[in-house]
Amino acid sequence: MDPFTAIGLAGNILTFIDIGLKFVSQTKGIYDSQSNSTAENDNLSIMATRFTSAMSEMQGKLPNGNLSKDEIALNALVEECSNISGELQNLLAELKAKKPKSKRSSMKAAFRDWRKKPEKDDLHKRLESSRQQLDLLLTTMTRFESLERLNQLVEYGQTNEVEITSLRRNIDALRSGLRVKILSPEALEQIRDVVSLSDRATLKVRESCILTALRFELMNERYDDVAEAHDKTFEWIFDSSDENFINWIKHGNGIFHISGKPGSGKSTLMKYLCHREETKQYLDIWAADKSLVFGKFFFWNPGTTLQKSLRGLIRGLLHSILSNAPELIPLAFPKHWDATLSKVAVTFDSSDDIMLAFTDLIRRDAVYHNHKLVFFIDGLDEFQGDHATLLKELMRWISTRPTGVKICVSSREWPIFQEAFKTFPSFRLHDLTRSDMSRIVRDRLTNNKLYFKMAGPDELAYFESDLVDKSEGVFLWLKLILHGIEDGLLSGDRLPQLENKVNALPTELDDLFQHLLNSIHPCDRKEAYLMLAVALECPPESDWPIFRISFLEEYIENRDFALSQQIEQLDDDQITDRLERTRKKIYGKCKGLLEIQLVHLYEWHQIYRTKIDQTLKESVKFTHRSIIEFLKSDQTRQKLAADLRGLDIFDAMCQTFLAHIQAAKINEYYYQDRHGATSSLESHLSSICFKERGYRLSEIHGIPE
């Protein structure tokens, strides 16, 4: 049964009982042509006819099988009221004067009314009994399935055209019950609560309709992918002894600029600030008696167009603003908001609609009567476009409402940003993180039992301090070096050997990356470089599972391994072993340049076997964007190409993809986009240049139907 049918039934029954009780209590107008109640009786006739029709339709929707106590009672009430409705119609027809203007006809009708008094009394008792039952049902409406569904709509706002139409129709039927006077105060209060909940649910659905249209694929991907800060890292930023940032966030306006070297933790800090409760608490001081509206956007240069463009920034910020302050949606999109009265899905004609809506919104005086806006924008250097245009846009936003909008930004120390923000408060992140880096070194190395065995406390403390000094505030450098130190400990290195290795390492990131590439054992280079090349070519909207990476070894041995032979389906133990070996390869052969991340799996995936989840839940990604930049440089590309001569990257991706499908026996409908929309296997393959390689699915065996 439609979860809202119960609400509509209750409303229709309530209205019918109210009019029915009035009818059986007063019928003089039926036969008295001079009475003003004739019209009321006509209304009853119409109402009874409509009720009978409505009950007939709704009875077809009533649940069968295992019913709750309330559902059984509601079914019985519908049946009884349907019977009463038919009897009322018959009684009304019998009592009505044949010739309303004829006294004789009216007298005959009055006589018939007198004779029908016992029948009317019986109907009155039955209507009163139905009223009492309905009253009791209404006081327990919180047990109705419809109430549970309404609460879900209030929380999530996701529905469809059929359901929202049903909700509006049925709640209107219940809303009419607020006008009757035959219910107890408790039942009326319950109706008010349900109607109020329905209004909130409808509002949430309308808001969700606009927000869904605004959202774009991978909008929050970069934010989600940024690693959480190490325990206690960045806590100093809220220390009262550091007045710079605290003063700005509590009392300042304009822009705060966080700059730093590549790999110094800017994105990690920005994510830390975005989700820390202290940030909101201090910003509330700035907002004072107004509502704080928080917006965030993390640029990502290796990502999709919208992840690194002005249009993506504005769309992402607007989504954040309206998610946190949905009351502003009608101001931002008045026409689209009106359209949500009759639709659960709207679209924007062009990106210009969104750009104009954002511009108009931040200029509106009405916005700042009750709100203040703050934006956190990470990675200005990852913006792909004219940086001067981006900066001009940011300046325009804060100048539009100097005390109502402020922005915290982060970037590398590029001259264009340093010059633009020189009059605003700022700090250089790599100058402030020594204590954080010392803690990371200490925590990481002290977890290794071999570490304490190689020297005394003083020597180890000096070694740790030297590591922090050499890192020069770059977390990425430190992370890669610690990875190498742990490998050295496993290889039996003592402290002098580790010190010599650290002293020989470059302090500049590009030089370090080159050193790490060169340090890969010659026997491992082809496979390691192929892993890096595949990760580099993987589309930004796709994950590349490590299970798929595991087949690169077979590809190196046989360039047609997935096309020339049937790949055997693996059992759970075989899959587990293959995944474990691949994890060791990624961390051991790639020298920390690649790492493994967990992939979000949608709930409906749980219907598939555990081993399918196992092959898809981990994927590879680069440890940092600067590694991608290094690998894409002409010099590095040439080196990789030389070592991978004879291997086709796209061909390797396609064949390992096919091997994955056959070995894990994955149904093609398992593949979905980030929002859960099913895509075909052919579409997924084409996303990795399958069409460019000229393969035809019909020529490839082993793909499940």
* 511 assigned to some structural domain: no
Percentage of the chain with pLDDT > 70? Answer: 76
* Contacts of residue 186, Cβ cutoff 8 Å, sequence gap at least 6: 139
Residues 23 and 158 in one domain: yes
H or E element in which residue 376 lies: strand 371-378
* 47 assigned to some structural domain: yes
- Give how far the C-alpha of residue 8 lies from the chain's centroid of Cα atoms, to the nearest Å: 32
Percentage of the chain with pLDDT > 90? Answer: 45
Residues 229 and 102 in one domain: no
- pLDDT class for 246, splitting at 50, 70, 90? very high
* 245 assigned to some structural domain: yes
Residues 424 and 394 in one domain: yes
Look at residues 161, 193, 211 and tell me which one is the last residue of a structural domain. Answer: 211
Min mean pLDDT across 156-160, 401-405, 425-429, 663-667 is at: 156-160
- Give how far the C-alpha of residue 606 lies from the chain's centroid of Cα atoms, to the nearest Å: 19
- Give how far the C-alpha of residue 649 lies from the chain's centroid of Cα atoms, to the nearest Å: 33
Residues 483 and 533 in one domain: no
| pLDDT given at position 456 | 87
Q: Which residue has the higher pLDDT, 11 or 366?
A: 366
Question: Could you tell me the residue range of the domain that residue 343 belongs to?
Answer: 221-428
Residues 309 and 231 in one domain: yes
Look at residues 501, 535, 553 and tell me which one is the last residue of a structural domain. Answer: 501
- Would you say residue 247 has pLDDT above 90? yes
pLDDT digits (tens, 9 = 90+) for 437-461: 999 999 999 888 888 888 888 999 9
195-to-5, 8, 51, 146 alpha-carbon distances in Å? 14, 11, 21, 12
H or E element in which residue 643 lies: helix 634-643
For 599-629, b/e burial (b = at least 16 CB within 10 A) is: eeeeeeeeebeebbebbbbbbbbbbbbbbbb
- Would you say residue 101 has pLDDT above 60? no
Spatial distance between the Cα atoms of 328 and 337, rounded to a whole number of angstroms: 11
| pLDDT given at position 147 | 61
- Would you say residue 84 has pLDDT above 80? yes
Q: Which residue has the higher pLDDT, 202 or 386?
A: 386
Q: Averaged over 9-23, what is the pLDDT? A: 79
Min mean pLDDT across 216-230, 234-248, 348-362, 388-402 is at: 234-248
* 463 assigned to some structural domain: yes
pLDDT digits (tens, 9 = 90+) for 299-328: 999 889 999 999 999 999 999 999 999 999
- pLDDT class for 28, splitting at 50, 70, 90? very low
| pLDDT given at position 567 | 86
* 514 assigned to some structural domain: no
- pLDDT class for 158, splitting at 50, 70, 90? low
Most confident of 46-50, 296-300, 664-668: 296-300
* 343 assigned to some structural domain: yes
Q: What is the CATH number of the domain that holds 303?
A: 3.40.50
pTM (predicted TM-score): 0.78
* H helices present in 447-571, as ranges: 449-452, 457-471, 475-490, 495-503, 509-519, 522-537, 546-549, 552-557, 561-564
Count of structural domains within the chain:
4
Backbone angles phi, psi at 192, to 5 degrees: -60, -40
Q: What is the DSSP letter of 570?
A: P
pLDDT digits (tens, 9 = 90+) for 462-487: 999 999 999 999 999 999 999 999 98
pLDDT digits (tens, 9 = 90+) for 361-388: 999 999 999 999 999 999 999 999 999 9
Work out the mean pLDDT of the chain and round it to a whole number.
81
SS3 539: coil
Residue of 224, 214, 436 whose CA lies nearest to 323: 214
| pLDDT given at position 435 | 94
Spatial distance between the Cα atoms of 125 and 123, rounded to a whole number of angstroms: 5
* 704 assigned to some structural domain: no
Q: Which residue has the higher pLDDT, 658 or 90?
A: 658
Residues 605 and 677 in one domain: yes
Look at residues 408, 428, 448 and tell me which one is the last residue of a structural domain. Answer: 428
Residues 575 and 627 in one domain: yes
pLDDT digits (tens, 9 = 90+) for 577-619: 999 999 999 998 999 999 998 876 544 344 344 444 678 889 9
Residues 483 and 545 in one domain: no
Residues 473 and 394 in one domain: no
- Would you say residue 198 has pLDDT above 70? yes
Most confident of 96-100, 259-263, 616-620, 680-684: 259-263
| pLDDT given at position 11 | 78
- pLDDT class for 10, splitting at 50, 70, 90? confident
| pLDDT given at position 142 | 56
- Would you say residue 677 has pLDDT above 50? no
Spatial distance between the Cα atoms of 160 and 175, rounded to a whole number of angstroms: 22
- Would you say residue 30 has pLDDT above 50? no
| pLDDT given at position 446 | 87
- Would you say residue 352 has pLDDT above 70? yes
Residue of 255, 314, 297, 285 whose CA lies nearest to 372: 285
Q: Which residue has the higher pLDDT, 527 or 70?
A: 527
Residues 458 and 566 in one domain: no
Residues 91 and 144 in one domain: yes
Give bridge partners of residue 258 from the DSSP assignment: 410, 427
pLDDT digits (tens, 9 = 90+) for 540-579: 767 889 999 999 999 999 999 988 888 888 998 999 999 9
Residues 362 and 441 in one domain: no
Q: Which residue has the higher pLDDT, 544 or 100?
A: 544
* 360 assigned to some structural domain: yes
pLDDT digits (tens, 9 = 90+) for 171-193: 776 676 666 767 777 777 777 77
